[in-house]
């Protein structure tokens, strides 16, 4: 039997990280954990190290590293603890690593994910913000290194499964008319508009179908998540926003579709559980058990579809505008959204103000060409400053 693949899980303590470790643990002969990273949930990281015995763990500070290293020693483990972004990049690009699972949330994931790409690792991408911020540079790096980049985001994984193997020659060449990106519509799909002023972070995080981290849960409620996914899809499948239609499908059973010129529409269905796209991407082009229950179509009984309402979901409109503007606009959108969502979760702004803040920052920050990664970080920092200034003026 061949030796197990060594895997680095960036963001191991999060929702996607934990689902990944669940799938990996089902296939010990195929996969072994090389490194695990955490940020605030360090007791959980210790428990994961005990369970998966990685060679490395990464934490944000020297003090946290000292503590974890002591705890690991007491637990009888020789896992080495590394610190900060340097540590994250080291375990992403380490010569022994085969596959890197990018599941840090937000802009913080960009450098370590790019380090994996540049080192030619197989990269399984959940961290959509990294691609939204730096799409052109990120995809150039993918092509330069020849790495295999597979989407974990359930919609993009579904689209990938519905495309032919040679789709990289161009979607038009393989007969694709449109991509149909499905969205659940989140917890506020039917909430009276006047009540949105008063919804709480916990209500926003109570997704009807998926269990996820808090940032992406708020993004799903506002449909900014779908906007980020629209941009993500443009980069992953080398297409334009005009070729992507967002379809609200409240049951979250169809994870996205591809519409071909002959009238065929291919869809990927499954229970809403991230272990399916994770298992698909881990084993691709093979198939392995993910632990997800078989789909019971009789209990689902019906599949509904609606067009998204841009009055209810202004973030979707803002994201489409940023996608169409291109260049630096998606990075500005992403940065403003990260600040806005954190402020909403901290109860400093009301839910509708998420869109107001992003709209203003997009209007203030000019669209510029981006040819270097440092420019992306400068734009990100400027947009965050503008968003903070908006908060100082309007927040609580
Ligand atoms: P979580 O909030 O559950 O997990 C985020 C992970 O990132 C945690 O391990 C967290 O560490 C770590 N982290 C947070 N901030 C930093 C930082 N500054 N530096 C280093 N590590 C950090 O999020 P999810 O798992 O839900 O989402 C992760 C990514 O996957 C996001 O980009 C999201 O959009 C994407 N995604 C998620 C899906 C889902 O079903 N959850 C579906 C599709 C995409 P700690 O917990 O220790 O603080
Ligand atoms: Mg998704």
Question: Is the minimum distance from the CB of 127 to ligand 1 under 6 angstroms?
Answer: yes
Q: How far apart are CA 104 and CA 339, in angstroms?
A: 16
pTM across the whole model: 0.98
Q: How far is the CA of 151 from the centre of ligand 2 (A)?
A: 10
Nearest ligand (C-alpha, residue 125): 1
370 closest CA partner among 344, 320, 319, 334: 334
Does 184 appear as a known binding residue?
yes
Note whether 317 and 295 are within 8 A (CB).
Answer: no
Q: How far is the CA of 72 from the centre of ligand 2 (A)?
A: 35
Does 217 appear as a known binding residue?
no
Does 14 appear as a known binding residue?
yes
Note whether 39 and 105 are within 8 A (CB).
Answer: no
Question: Is the minimum distance from the CB of 14 to ligand 1 under 6 angstroms?
Answer: yes
Question: Is the minimum distance from the CB of 40 to ligand 1 under 6 angstroms?
Answer: yes
Q: Look at ligand 1, atom 19, and give the residue with the nearest C-alpha.
A: 108
Question: Is the minimum distance from the CB of 48 to ligand 1 under 6 angstroms?
Answer: no
Per-residue pLDDT of the chain (396 residues; tens, 9 = 90+): 589 999 999 999 999 999 999 999 999 999 999 999 999 999 999 999 999 999 999 999 999 999 999 999 999 999 999 999 999 999 999 999 999 999 999 999 999 999 999 999 999 999 999 999 999 999 999 999 999 999 999 999 999 999 999 999 999 999 999 999 999 999 999 999 999 999 999 999 999 898 999 999 999 999 999 999 999 999 999 999 999 999 999 999 999 999 999 999 999 999 999 999 999 999 999 999 999 999 999 999 999 999 999 899 999 999 999 999 999 999 999 999 999 999 999 999 999 999 999 999 999 999 999 999 999 999 999 999 999 999 999 978
* Structure token digits, residue 15: 């929702």
Q: How far apart are CA 145 and CA 147, in angstroms?
A: 5
The full set of domains in the chain, from first to last, is: 5-151 (3.40.50.720), 152-218+234-307 (no CATH)
Does 129 appear as a known binding residue?
yes
108: DSSP letter: G
């Amino acid at each position: 039997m061949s030796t197990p693949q060594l895997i680095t899980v960036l963001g191991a303590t999060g929702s996607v990280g934990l689902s990944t470790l669940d799938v990996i643990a089902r296939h010990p002969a195929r996969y072994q954990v090389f490194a695990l990273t955490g940020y605030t949930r360090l007791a959980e990281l210790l428990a994961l190290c005990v369970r998966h015995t990685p060679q490395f763990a990464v934490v944000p500070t020297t003090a946290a590293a000292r503590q974890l290293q002591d705890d690991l020693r007491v637990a009888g483990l020789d896992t080495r603890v590394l610190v900060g972004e340097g540590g994250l990049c080291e375990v992403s690009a380490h010569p022994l690593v085969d596959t890197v699972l990018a599941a840090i949330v937000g802009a913080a994931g960009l450098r370590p994910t790019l380090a994996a790409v540049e080192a030619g690792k197989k990269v399984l991408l959940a961290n959509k913000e990294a691609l939204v911020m730096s799409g052109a540079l990120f995809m150039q790096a993918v092509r330069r290194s020849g790495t295999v980049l597979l989407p974990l985001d359930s919609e993009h994984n579904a689209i990938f499964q519905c495309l032919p193997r040679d789709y990289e020659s161009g979607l038009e060449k393989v007969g694709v008319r449109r991509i149909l990106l499905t969205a659940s519509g989140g917890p506020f799909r039917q909430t009276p508009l006047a009540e949105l002023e008063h919804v709480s972070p916990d209500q926003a995080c109570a997704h009807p179908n998926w269990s996820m981290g808090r940032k992406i849960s708020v993004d799903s409620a506002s449909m900014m998540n779908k906007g980020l996914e629209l941009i993500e899809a443009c980069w992953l499948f080398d297409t334009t926003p005009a070729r992507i239609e967002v379809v609200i499908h409240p049951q979250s059973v169809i994870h996205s579709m591809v519409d071909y010129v002959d009238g065929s529409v291919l869809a990927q269905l499954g229970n809403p559980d991230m272990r399916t796209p994770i298992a698909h991407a881990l084993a691709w082009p093979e198939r392995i058990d993910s632990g997800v229950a078989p789909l019971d179509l009789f209990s689902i009984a019906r599949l509904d579809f609606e067009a998204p309402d841009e009055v209810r979901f202004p973030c979707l409109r803002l994201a489409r505008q940023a996608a169409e503007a291109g260049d630096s606009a998606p990075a500005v959108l992403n940065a403003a959204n990260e600040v806005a969502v954190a402020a909403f979760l901290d109860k400093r702004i009301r839910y509708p103000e998420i869109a107001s803040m992003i709209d203003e920052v997009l209007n203030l920050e000019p669209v510029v060409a981006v040819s270097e990664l440092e420019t992306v970080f400068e734009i990100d920092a400027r947009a965050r400053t503008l968003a903070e200034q908006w908060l100082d003026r309007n927040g609580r």
